[in-house]
Amino acid sequence: MRNWRYIVYIVVISLAISFPFYAGVHPIHVATTILSLLALALSWDILLRGGQLSLGVSAFFGIGSYTTVLTHLNWEVSPLLSIVLGGLAAGVVALVIGLAVLRLRGLYFAIVTLALTFIFIVIVRNLTDLTGGAIGKLIPSVIFGGDPAMIYWLTLAIAVATIITSEIFQKTRIHFALTSIRNNEIAAKSSGIDIFKYLLFAFVVTAVIQGVVGGVHAQRFAFVSPEESFSLTFTILPLAMCLLGGSFSTLGSVIGAGGLGVLAEYLRLMMPRGHLAIYGLVMVMAILLMPKGIVGTIREQLVRRKTASS
Amino acid sequence: MSVLRIENLTRRFGGLVALSGVNLELRENEILGLIGPNGAGKTTLLNVISGIYLPNSGRIIFDGKDVTESPAHIRCRLGIGRTFQIIQPNQNLNVLENVMVGSLFGQGAGLKEARRKAQEICQFLGLSRIERDITRLTVLEIKKMEMAHALATQPKVLLLDEIMTGLNIDEAREVIELVRKIRDQGMTICVIEHMMRIIKELTDRVLVLDRGEVIAEGLYEEVSNDPRVISAYLGEEE
Amino acid sequence: MLAKLRQRDYQILIAFIIVAAILAFWRPHVLISGLQRGSLYVLIALPVGIIYGILGILNLAHGEFMMLGAFFAFSLVTLTGIDPLIAMLPAFPAMFVVGIVTYRLTIKHVVRAPLNQFLLTFGLAVMLAEMANLIWTTRPRIVWVPYAASSATIGPITFGTFEFVYVAAAAIVLVGMFLFLTRTRAGLAAMAVGQNPRGAKLVGIDVERTYMMIFSACLAVLGPIGALFLIRHAIFPEVGGPFSLRAVSIVAMAGFGNLPGILVWGIGLGLAEAFVRSFRGWGGWADIIFFGMIILVVFYRSYQRRVR
Ligand SMILES: Nc1ncnc2c1ncn2[C@@H]1O[C@H](COP(=O)(O)OP(=O)(O)O)[C@@H](O)[C@H]1O
Ligand SMILES: [Mg+2]
């Protein structure tokens, strides 16, 4: 049983790494997009495990994008380093915001994170000298000279790093802390859990991931603008993916991202405007009809069958 | 020697005075019974001691340290353990993992050590089938798990809020025995209980709260004959 | 929930009045346009506060529902040529039906499940805005009526007079809501449900029905509000978003479940934004005022919680 699992891992990883060797340019692009959305979905889920609903994924994504482009342009930082800086900037913003609002949490946190996206759109628009205002900024050259395979591998590395982070969160004491906080904060406090510390940590780590994904996105398309970089799409799609696949697990977001990501490509072509409505619908339907998502529902069935037979 | 000393504690909820000038001393290794009619403020007192609420005024001295302002998780680590009247087991974890949470964070144990300690404690309390989903536990098992969870934080003082409620006589007897066993390990215990029989059998000393005030304190026999206590309880039955 | 203004609200109210008095001399047009804008916020935030108080759901899609009401009025106006003010009348029952359908299909299944319901209303907001995008495209739509541009001049300042309709509407909704919740059986029942649903059920109140009626009524008022909004603003699918965000922020600033506070904070926000807008070249920053305010409030409140 155990060995089977490792064989599956190895097969999936080798297929993923070798993908650019047998796929065309378009599929590589699609896969790159799906991998970055996967990282966003999973990072969102990690914080949800502590009962905190962040609606600010696109804010950290955008902060990462802008920091990457601006440091690259103004300080001539190398593309890879600029992406790291993008992640750090997102982390610093999360730290500051978290210090202010993670003591009240709950709805306050959800509202503040949602507002964050709009706030940064306003800031970026108004700091015209620095950010290029409503028009945004262009980078003269795409990362890796625009080689789709290299960009794909970079994104794959980030997605895998996110999966590993998620598994570390699931397998260590952090898991016990976050799930206890989600269950009942008062009981969690009384068991010695420093709620603020754990949530702040999770918030900052996930923001860094989102910032890095944003940085790669900016380097890949070589430009930033308020509407594109802070687009709510980067909040809505990951949420829909995670909710469909199943929250509170690594596999859920992976499956949700895979499924919805492929669908998203077709939708974009078939429904040039308004296709986000579908993701809104997916979110609503998943919450109403399948609150545990695909993975959670299947797992529940398996457990039921097992206990029925024993 | 007192492990926990409470001086002049007052806690208000809006206009309601839930605790008013409460003084209390927990002596080392005793079992103190905390009784009083519904709404007397017993749970609130536990909440203030464990740091869920901060008091409006008064002091809490634990183990020689002033913990009046300390957050709840720090008090837990210092050695104040508790159970909840309305139990909130974590459904995402199995029995053993629920207990592990106590040792992981209450005493900063690593995963392996926490697992070993949790197993020990479960065994000590006679809690078997510890890998089970907690939705399938009996009431007694859930109560034991709550106690195990509190014990796993390695407390010096254990506060138990109505753990016998909902148990039948035999089960309650079993829990009484367990509480005694825990005390014999050197712990100081404060129990909130409604059934007088249990209080009489289990406790060394009794403190009676009514409408947020301590109206009597002493041995069970003294307290149960105190006219103020009798009238407080009669008032409830009307 | 209705209770008198809390002491803190009084202090804030007094602070606002002092600020308003200063503004009246220094920048009178700020006072007027801030009041007008703030009234619009109150109009949209009040129903959000009521739904929260009674159903325990923070509706993040409220601005989008107003956008829907506005598009309904717009369609009526362009199809039939009636005056937008007349379109207010059919917009009310139309949004009521939208409310019933939304409640039946979605809200009903998540009442009192805080995380899920907030996510759900977020999903609804996305769906509504994007469906409007599908139907009406992102092109801004306007209707033109002569009275909308009416203005008055007092001394050195000139200001739009039509916008006072928002102030009047806010007053009407506020008073109407207050009378409903305190003077009618249905309103008192609703308050009872909000305070203690299980107890309300025990004394024979139909809790489910109360939830549905309150939710639908709170959406229904968005019909006429949408029509009024249309008269003075261009509408497009994303026009509701900023109002949703401000509405939930105002409810949060007031302290969840504190209705009178919504009035104070809504007007306060309107004034603050108008104040920033009055500085040439700084107007763009007005949109982040609400964020600054909510951060300050949250910070203050978490500090309070520790001290308390
Ligand atoms: N969080 C709270 N907010 C408002 N009132 C509370 C709160 N907790 C307890 N109370 C009130 O304090 C009083 C004492 O309650 P409690 O300590 O639970 O009583 P007991 O446990 O003795 O039955 C009751 O009137 C209760 O309604
Ligand atoms: Mg109690």
pLDDT at A2: 67
Give the one of A173, A176, A190 whose C-beta lies nearest to B82's C-beta: A190
pLDDT digits (tens, 9 = 90+) for A224-263: 999 999 999 999 999 999 999 999 999 999 999 999 998 8
Using 70 as the pLDDT threshold, list the residues of chain A that sit under it.
1-2, 310
Between A229-238, B112-121, B123-132, the lowest mean confidence (pLDDT) is in: B123-132
pLDDT at C8: 67
Nearest of B97, B89, B47, B90 to residue B72 by alpha carbon: B47
User: Taking CB atoms and an 8 Å cut-off, how many pairs form between chains A and C?
Assistant: 121
Instruction: Residue window 226-255, chain C: list those with CB within 8 Å of chain A.
Output: 241-242, 245, 248-249, 252
Q: What percent of chain C has pLDDT over 70?
A: 95
Nearest of B1, B29, B2 to residue B182 by alpha carbon: B29
Instruction: State the nearest Cα–Cα gap between C242 and chain A, in angstroms.
Output: 8
B77 vs A contacts (CB less than 8 Å): 192
Q: How many CB atoms lie within 10 A of CB C189?
A: 21
Q: Are A220 and A151 in contact (CB under 8 A)?
A: yes
B54 touches chain C (CB under 8 A): yes
CB–CB contact C287 A118 (8 Å): yes
B102 vs A contacts (CB less than 8 Å): 191-192
pLDDT at B114: 95
Mean pLDDT for all residues in chain B: 91
pLDDT at C5: 56
pLDDT at C10: 75
pLDDT digits (tens, 9 = 90+) for C191-235: 888 888 888 888 888 999 999 999 999 999 999 999 999 998 999
pLDDT band at residue C114 using 50, 70 and 90 as cut-offs:
confident
pLDDT at C306: 57
What's the average model confidence in pLDDT over B108-133?
A: 91
Q: How many CB atoms lie within 10 A of CB C11?
A: 11
Q: What percent of chain A has pLDDT over 70?
A: 99
Q: What angle do CA B204, B208, B211 make, to 5 degrees?
A: 160
User: For residue C151, what are the β-bridge partners?
Assistant: C160
Q: What percent of chain B has pLDDT over 90?
A: 72
Mean pLDDT for all residues in chain C: 87
Q: Are B26 and B46 in contact (CB under 8 A)?
A: no
CA-based nearest residue in chain A for residue B85: A187
pLDDT at C144: 84
Instruction: Residue window 22-61, chain C: list those with CB within 8 Å of chain A.
Output: 58, 60
Q: Are C301 and C256 in contact (CB under 8 A)?
A: no
C307 vs B contacts (CB less than 8 Å): 54
Give the one of B51, B91, B105 whose C-beta lies nearest to A193's C-beta: B105
Structure tokens at A154: 């970079």
pLDDT band at residue B238 using 50, 70 and 90 as cut-offs:
very low
pLDDT at C283: 81
pLDDT at C278: 86
What's the average model confidence in pLDDT over B29-37?
A: 93
Classify residue C286 by its DSSP letter: G
Structure tokens at A73: 């342009």
pLDDT digits (tens, 9 = 90+) for C133-143: 999 988 999 88
Q: pTM of the prediction?
A: 0.94
**pLDDT of B91 above 90:** no
Structure tokens at B60: 């809490």
pLDDT at A36: 96
Amino acid at residue number A103: R
pLDDT at A310: 61
Q: Residues in chain C, how many?
A: 308
A149 touches chain C (CB under 8 A): no
Between A283-297, B178-192, C17-31, C241-255, the lowest mean confidence (pLDDT) is in: C17-31
**pLDDT of C113 above 90:** no
* Cα gap B34→B192, rounded to integer Å: 5
CA-based nearest residue in chain A for residue B52: A186
**pLDDT of C284 above 90:** no
**pLDDT of C186 above 90:** no
Q: What is the DSSP string of C186-252?
A: HHHHHHHHHH-HHHHHHTT--HHHHHHHHHHHHHHTHHHHHHHHHHHS-B-GGGSHHHHHHHHHHHH
pLDDT band at residue C257 using 50, 70 and 90 as cut-offs:
confident
**Cβ contacts of residue C185 below 8 Å, gap of 6+?**
none
Beta strands B188-192 and B157-161, pairing class? parallel
* Nearest CA, atom 5, ligand 1: B13
Q: Are C247 and C87 in contact (CB under 8 A)?
A: no
* Cα gap C2→C260, rounded to integer Å: 7
pLDDT band at residue C1 using 50, 70 and 90 as cut-offs:
low
CA-based nearest residue in chain A for residue B136: A307
B92 touches chain A (CB under 8 A): yes
Return the ligand 1 atom nearest residue B212 CA: 14
B53 CA → ligand 1 middle, Å: 11
Instruction: Residue window 98-157, chain C: list those with CB within 8 Å of chain A.
Output: 106, 109-110, 114-116, 118-120, 122-131, 133-134, 137-138
What's the average model confidence in pLDDT over B95-117?
A: 93
**pLDDT of B237 above 70:** no
